[in-house]
Structure formats: structure tokens, C-alpha cells
Structure 1
Amino acid sequence: MAWAPLLLALLAHSSGSGVRAGLTQEASLSGSLGQKVTLTCTGNSNNVGSYGVGWYQQVTGSAPKTVMLGTSRPSGIPDRFSGSKSGNTASLVITGRQPEDEADYYCSTWDYGISNHTLLHTHGELRQKPACSP
């Protein structure tokens, strides 16, 4: 059985009180089930390099859940999810993408000195691309 390629369509925006800098994600990525998928979140200022980064997954019809805080996975998150940060870009890597990974993904940053205060966030969708009919 051939796996249909997945389509990762990302829509970016930023929010935050008094914050002028934003976060961006790539417009689209493609791949297949079982392959590695990398979502990136890049700041246009120093808002990734100096701040904490979180990744959140929201499956349709469910509340968002945290899948990565920095490079730490919360309890219950499969080890196929990993996070990294280099310079002003953070990455969420899904190694061996599974059907249940189809969801909306959010990246956010926060200042380590401000507890529970999200400064910026961006949003992307990970969706299965329909198979082509003959």
C-alpha cells in the first residue's frame, strides 16, 4: 500500500502586547507518512535566540497540548517528537510521521523572566494530502 504524500501548509501571524517583532514559518512542506518532517519557527528579531520556545499540537475537535518545551518533551509525548534551537530559528522534528500527527501546530516564544506570558506565536497545519486518482 503506497502512502500518500503529506502536505504541511503553514499560516503565520504574530500577536502580543507591545511586541513589534514576529515569528514566521515556511509556506509549505511535503513528505510521506513514516518520513521525517521538520517545522521551523524563525524570529525576525532576537525573539527566538534569547527566549524560551514551545510547540503545541491541536488535533481537530480537541484542546491544544504541549508537545515540546525547548528541547524537553512532556510526559506522554512520543519520542518521535524532538525540538531544537539554533540562532533565531527553532525546529520541531517529527521522525517517522504518523497519521495521528495530523493537526494544527503552534510555536510560541516567551521571555524567561516573565512567567506564563506568551510574547509571540505562529500557527501551522500538518495535513494529509489526498491521494491522486487515476
Structure 2
Amino acid sequence: MTFFIRFLWTLLFCIPECRGQISVTQTPAVKAVPVGQTIKLNCRSSSPIVSNYFSWYLQKTGEAPKLLIYDISYRFGSTPSRFVGEGSSSGSDFSLTISNVQAEDAGVYYCQSLHSGPVFPQC
């Protein structure tokens, strides 16, 4: 019985408050851009990120997503310099600017953020 009471006390008083899920909004949702033009994609998180942990991915039809930008602004691998990531290391607003858009840039772009603290999926 003592174990049960300690366990119940721990559940009621020691676990941090329930935290809601973090939402991420990307804009524009859909955009067609002529070759040679510039586009800016925006991503807003409902909560600030941890350090610089923010990334952009591109997924082309029939392929797995590929990392383009990591730690807010660093290009991964052979990502062209036409791709520029921007944002604050402790903020919630980020952007990906693609200049001189090429046909091979077509696809679905995703942003990813990392947040601290315990995760409680439901309360």
C-alpha cells in the first residue's frame, strides 16, 4: 500500500503540468514560381526552438525527404548556395529563400524544429 500511495503522490504532484502540442505553420501552402524568380518560404513555430535546431527538407515525388538546411542556415551536402535559411537561434520564425528558382527545385518543402522539455502526448 505504501508504494501505491507514493506512486499516486508522484503522479499528482511531481510531474510537470500538461503541455499542449507545439504547432508549426508553413506559408505559403502552395506556390508556383516561374524559373529564374525568387521565393521565400516561411515557417512559424508556436514555441521557440532549442538552440539552433531548425531544418528544411525537400521531398520530390516518389522520393524520401532530403535535408537542405540544418541549424537554421547551414547548407547540407550539395545544397546550392541559391538556398538560404534564416531565423533566430531562440526564436519561432524561420524562412527559406530560394533565388533563381530552377525546375529541379519543384517538390514539397518541410520545416522541422526541435523543442525542449518533457513530452506528454495527452493529459
TM over 0.5: yes
Check whether the contact 1:51–1:111 (CA below 8 A) recurs between aligned residues.
Answer: no
Residues 82 and 112 from structure 1, CA distance in 2 versus in 1: closer, same or farther, beyond 3 angstroms? farther
Structure with more relative contact order (C-alpha pairs < 8 Å, separation 6 or more): 1
Task: Report the number of matched residues.
Answer: 96
Output one character per residue of 1:11-68: Cα deviation in whole Å (capped at 9) or x when no partner: xxxxxxx75120101244453211111110001232x475511000111111211000
Q: 2: CA distance between counterparts of 1:40 and 1:61?
A: 24
Output one character per residue of 1:71-107: Cα deviation in whole Å (capped at 9) or x when no partner: 1001211111110004421101101110001011110
Q: Say which SS state the counterpart of residue 108 (structure 1) adopts.
A: strand
Check whether the contact 1:49–1:88 (CA below 8 A) recurs between aligned residues.
Answer: no
- State the AA in 1 paired with 2:94: A
Aligned equivalent of 2:111? 107
Residues 20 and 50 from structure 1, CA distance in 2 versus in 1: closer, same or farther, beyond 3 angstroms? farther
Structure-to-structure mapping, 1:1-134, within 5 angstroms: 20-26=21-27, 27-46=29-48, 48=49, 52-69=53-70, 70-86=72-88, 87-111=91-115
Bigger helix share = 2
Check whether the contact 1:49–1:85 (CA below 8 A) recurs between aligned residues.
Answer: no
Residues 106 and 39 from structure 1, CA distance in 2 versus in 1: closer, same or farther, beyond 3 angstroms? same
Question: Over aligned residue pairs, what C-alpha RMSD do you find?
Answer: 2.5
> Is the radius of gyration larger for structure 1 or structure 2?
2
Q: Which runs of 5+ in 2 are unaligned?
A: 1-18, 118-123
Q: Say which SS state the counterpart of residue 110 (structure 2) adopts.
A: strand
Check whether the contact 1:51–1:112 (CA below 8 A) recurs between aligned residues.
Answer: no
Q: Which runs of 5+ in 1 are unaligned?
A: 1-17, 114-134
Percent identical across equivalent pairs? Answer: 36
